[in-house]
Chain A
Amino acid sequence: MNPPNLQALQGGDAAEWDLAFRWLWPAAFGAAQVVLQPCLPAEVEDVAIESLEELVEGVRSLSSAEELRPLLAGIAHNRAVSRLRQFYAAKRGAGKTESYEAKQEACGDLPEAIAPDDPVGALEHKELAERLGQLLAELKPPQGQMLADFFLRRLTYEDIAKKHAVAPGTVGVYLKRGLAAMRRVWGPGGKDV
């Protein structure tokens, strides 16, 4: 599916929004899931819907349809982080319950998503969206896919070489260039935030 018509969205065209919600949903759901899945999986869908509502409120500030998904992912991520912080704040407060105890046990003391030095959680959603958009433009295929294969899917250099039909010796080159692009956008180790 192609990106929706931004002008129609900004004009409140219900039919265009109806299509756009389906196109946008995976970005909202995925970004919320990254943060909430380990501790609060039942909240993921709710946060995704709230994020779409916030996107509706902010759509008139956009100048390109390409900005929609990064912005939505930024909104969803930050809303999910807030939800997680509320959960831990409630845990510390008087309202703690047995189920919270059980959840915290499953999630650990403090998830990295709400750690004070988290390189992503510290950004406002607009800035986060801008950086995601820049990074999408910076990463030349297959750098992004190879980085995800190594860091998220935990494939070995050899597995990645087979998957992308390249020589094993070139995998490290792609990964190095991909990380360099990430550093250019985000700062070394995310230290610009």
Chain B
Amino acid sequence: MVKINKDVCMLCGGCASVCPFNCITVTEREVIIENCKECGTCEKFCPVGAIE
């Protein structure tokens, strides 16, 4: 499962919009990841590199 660096994340929601498996929900204060397939798409998208 991918890891979100909370200190870096801007909560912009971009990762949720690119996840091909709809695993990501971004609320006002957190990123929730369920059933991650580790495809790496969100990591590639993240404008600030908050996903490892």
Partners in one complex: no
Q: Point out residues on A near B: beta carbons under 8 Å.
A: none
